A and B are shown apart, each in its own frame.
Chain A
């Protein structure tokens, strides 16, 4: 699906159109990796509503990991968030056997299985069908700046773009191939941005669903402002993570997942972390 934003052709969304900062600027809120964290999503959407954005985009993975998967759908839909499919959404919609994260480690696979089975079981048929209607990418032209929004990378829905394994030359290649000036992704769960120095940028918007392995319970989203330059601000969300942990406990989700929500340290899905990101964590 292609969209068009900026000027008269705004894409609409969670925030009101036309009020984004100075004249000539367009501002988007970019969220991703919701992972059924309806509490963090609710707080993030309230925060976004105060910031006068032109549109809010969700880059996918609405379910996984957290409790009550159906609760995030009305929040996103009522706020007018424009969503993409992530690999999890693609799996749920297609009735696939797993989340397509590609784990080979038996422990990671064990927890990925628990997460996927719970989410599949507790996502309504209507919501699964809706996930299947979502595009896998969106293109926007903001006054000549070409944006490409997708979940993993511009070439694969489940390709991990980590900061430490995404060299400048490779990102330039991706942008060239995609015909984009700004590439926005999520999927890894850890935010970062790269200014390639030629007016082009790659932004991993992070995740609202779980903390980013930094020992704090906060989660993140990104504000992208496009005017004379491309500016990115990462916004931390401090939400009632203890209440979420209680929800997860009530749903008998694994203690390892709850520990991550409370401590901010990843306890599972560690196999895919490169050295730099892994070394920064506790496990």
Chain B
């Protein structure tokens, strides 16, 4: 029998906040946590809960804070919470971009300028034409998402356009060129693009075929592997229902570690297909995909 490897939290580099639960104004074909219009598996978090999580993470020396959902802009107090997070650490909002009005873009741009740390807004697109994108993300989404991204870009808050790879790798360059051209034409003069692999999760499971359902990350797979590339070694997700190992495992009951960040360092066995995807691609959820891969120097303090 194959045994799954266990990985513990080395340091809370990344705090993920599922601020809007699984509530979303659209239902993408590949959504990894099944978010949607009437999806209430996870609910909106209170400002108090978010503020407490940010303070707890700050006390642990958190490096980055991410707001996710669902669609974070469905939460009426999102901007207030983003402002709070920015006092502690660089902060990222993952959004479909559709609800970014001129007023919201203006507020975000003001926050970005005033803050000591970077504010990033990641806007999801899955095609560079209305036809390509809306086939995955729903009718009318492309136009609104692009408009949201452009509102940010015009205020020099350069969004990171986040795209799930739904094409063959051989088509990568042509696809990226298409996105770059479309974004420039629309008014995003300096496109920033992040490509994510499609994950065997949520609705994507029903969209793709041929997966091995019994995969896990084994101890042998971690032999010589840089564990800093695994989300579970450096991240935790807070939700209205407790703390999870990582954003991708939010539908796995065994990945719930507790109600607060206290005690969430304990190790977790990587027994899910998602873990294999994370192992294969490395640090897939962060803004910069592979920034911590490399020789570990861990200098030992000199004896005094």
Instruction: List residues of chain A with CB under 8 Å of any chain B CB.
Output: 2, 87, 90, 100, 102, 104-106, 136-137, 139, 141, 146, 148, 150, 152, 154-160, 162, 164-167, 169-170, 172-174, 178-180, 270-272, 274-279, 283
Contact = CB atoms under 8 A, between A and B. Distances in A.
18 contacts: A90-B294, A100-B295, A102-B292, A150-B297, A154-B299, A155-B296, A156-B292, A156-B294, A156-B296, A160-B291, A164-B90, A166-B63, A167-B88, A167-B89, A167-B90, A169-B60, A272-B291, A278-B190
Contacts of B11: 173
Contacts of A275: 112, 118-120, 157-158
Q: Classify chain B: how many residues form its interface, as a range.
A: 35 or more
A136 B297 contact: yes
B110 interface: no
B278 to A, nearest CB: 15
Nearest to A138: B299
At the interface, is chain B mostly helix, strand, loop or mixed? Answer: loop
A139 B302 contact: yes
A172 B88 CA distance: 13
A164 B118 contact: yes
By CB atoms of chain A within 10 A, which of B193, B291, B297, B304 has the most?
B297
A101 to B, nearest CB: 9
Interface centre among B112, B119, B156, B292 (most CB of A within 10 A): B292
With a 10 A CB-CB cut-off, give which of A87, A136, A150, A276 has the most chain B CB atoms: A276
B201 to A, nearest CB: 21
**5 smallest beta-carbon distances between A and B, as pairs:** A173-B61, A179-B301, A158-B294, A102-B290, A164-B118
Contact of A139 (B61, B194, B294, B301): B301
A137 B296 CA distance: 11
Contacts of A270: 192
Contacts of A166: 63
B289 A178 contact: no
A139 B173 CA distance: 45
Contact of A279 (B62, B158, B290): B158
Interface in B266-303: 287-299, 301-302
Nearest to B92: A275
Contacts of B90: 164-165, 167, 274
A142 to B, nearest CB: 13
Interface of B: 11, 13, 58-64, 88-90, 112, 116-120, 156-158, 172-173, 176, 190, 192-195, 228, 287-299, 301-302, 304
Given A104-B194, A169-B88, 6 more contacts: A87-B294, A102-B294, A106-B173, A136-B297, A137-B297, A172-B61
B38 to A, nearest CB: 34
Nearest to B294: A158
Contacts of A179: 301-302
Given A2-B302, A274-B90, A279-B157, A170 B61 contact: yes
A136 B299 CA distance: 8
Contact of B63 (A146, A157, A158, A167): A167
Contacts of B194: 104
Contacts of B62: 167, 169-170
A275 B62 CA distance: 19
A156 B296 CA distance: 5
Contact of B297 (A154, A170, A172, A279): A154
Contact of A169 (B89, B192, B287, B302): B89
A152 B117 CA distance: 19
A120 B228 CA distance: 28
